[in-house]
Amino acid sequence: MFANTVRRHVTISRFFNAVRDERLPSVLVGGPFRRLRTQRPVFQRYFTSTMEGSQGVTIRRGRMEDVPGVWQLAEEAMWNTHQDMIETHFKMCENGWTIAEKDGNVVGGQLLRNIAEEYGERNIHFSSISYMIDTYERYNGAPLSRGDTGGKYFGVFRDIPLPPDASRTYHLSDLQQVELSALIDYDTSYHVVARPEMLKLWLDQTTAESLVLLEKGKIAGYGSIRPAMNGFYLGPLYAENTIGTMVLFRGLINLIPRDSNVDFFLPHANEAGQLILKANENTVGLYATFHRCARKSYIPVPKWNNVFALLSNECGLC
């Protein structure tokens, strides 16, 4: 049986994500970009009582058969996600997930320590719920370097403050009508590293709807939306400017039933995001504020101001 409540979603860099609460017994860590580095061998490691507080805790690599259990955790913690999203994360990272268990149950207040040991002295970037930064600084053993902020928002979006002639400049296209190589090039302008396998897995989800924003025939943005337990989850959504962002956002919202709840992670530097939040302030709320951080030195993300919604905060900038 999995633990019946987990409350916090935190991020440890682009290379892995962690779902943990230091006061609760459930922890899960994964990494969609681990394949870009030298693979570490799959292993099992037993902690002693001095490290974990109880004997017989096994730290192992995650497997695809763990997906239903992880989905159960998500349901119990009321994370507004979809089992298809969790399965896709496992496909992206393959051997990049780490799970702590005892007698078949997921546990682990020390799993974060295991991850810190694995990454050693690397300058890891991650996103933290703001009030948890002090806790992570204790785990890090030194102050963290802090960067940009963002928020997890949810609600109903009825008003997109676009000028009347906005649609004349932009065209929305189905993903299948765009060359994948062009989309990869556009995505790389944000992430620096090309991510063809990750993009294909994520955008090929059977539950997702995706649109590409075109300006004079060239890609000027793209985004996707998919079902969640409560309404829909939006992300990613990247676009070159404020008007283009709102055109793309409106197009994605029009793909779902009217007045549906939408969750997404918004970088606060995004101008379109601030305008849309203001226009819908009576129907949209803030779940939590996050800080981008680094263990040593924070490096600004390219085109951060052009990011309206992250694919998922637990993967860092994805």
Instruction: Please give the average per-residue pLDDT across 114-128, as a whole number.
Output: 79
Q: CA-CA distances (angstroms) from residue 206 to 155, 201, 203, 210, 253? A: 24, 10, 8, 11, 18
Cis peptide before 236 (omega within 30 of 0): yes
**Cα–Cα distance between 128 and 146 in angstroms, integer?**
10
For residues 32 and 90, the model is more confident at 90
Q: How much is the pLDDT for 113?
A: 64
Q: Which of 83-97, 158-172, 208-222, 260-274 has the lowest mean pLDDT?
A: 83-97
Instruction: Please give the average per-residue pLDDT across 301-318, as a whole number.
Output: 71
Is 80 exceeded by the pLDDT of residue 175?
yes
The pLDDT mean for the chain works out to 75
Q: How much is the pLDDT for 219?
A: 98
Q: How much is the pLDDT for 28?
A: 31
For residues 172 and 70, the model is more confident at 172
Q: How much is the pLDDT for 188?
A: 93
Q: CA-CA distances (angstroms) from residue 59 to 21, 67, 100? A: 17, 17, 4
Q: Which of 75-84, 255-264, 280-289 has the lowest mean pLDDT?
A: 75-84
**Closest to 225 (Cα-Cα) out of 190, 263, 168:** 263
Highest mean pLDDT among 175-179, 226-230, 242-246: 242-246
**Cα–Cα distance between 282 and 184 in angstroms, integer?**
37
Domain ranges of the chain: 9-122, 150-315
Q: Write out the CATH class of domain 150-315.
A: alpha beta
Is 70 exceeded by the pLDDT of residue 95?
no
Q: How much is the pLDDT for 103?
A: 65
**Closest to 97 (Cα-Cα) out of 61, 71, 59:** 61
**Cα–Cα distance between 16 and 28 in angstroms, integer?**
10
Q: CA-CA distances (angstroms) from residue 169 to 132, 160, 246? A: 43, 17, 12
Start-to-end CA distance of the chain, whole Å, equals 31
- Residue-wise pLDDT for 14-71, tens only, equals 222 333 333 222 223 333 222 223 333 333 333 333 344 445 667 677 778 778 877 7
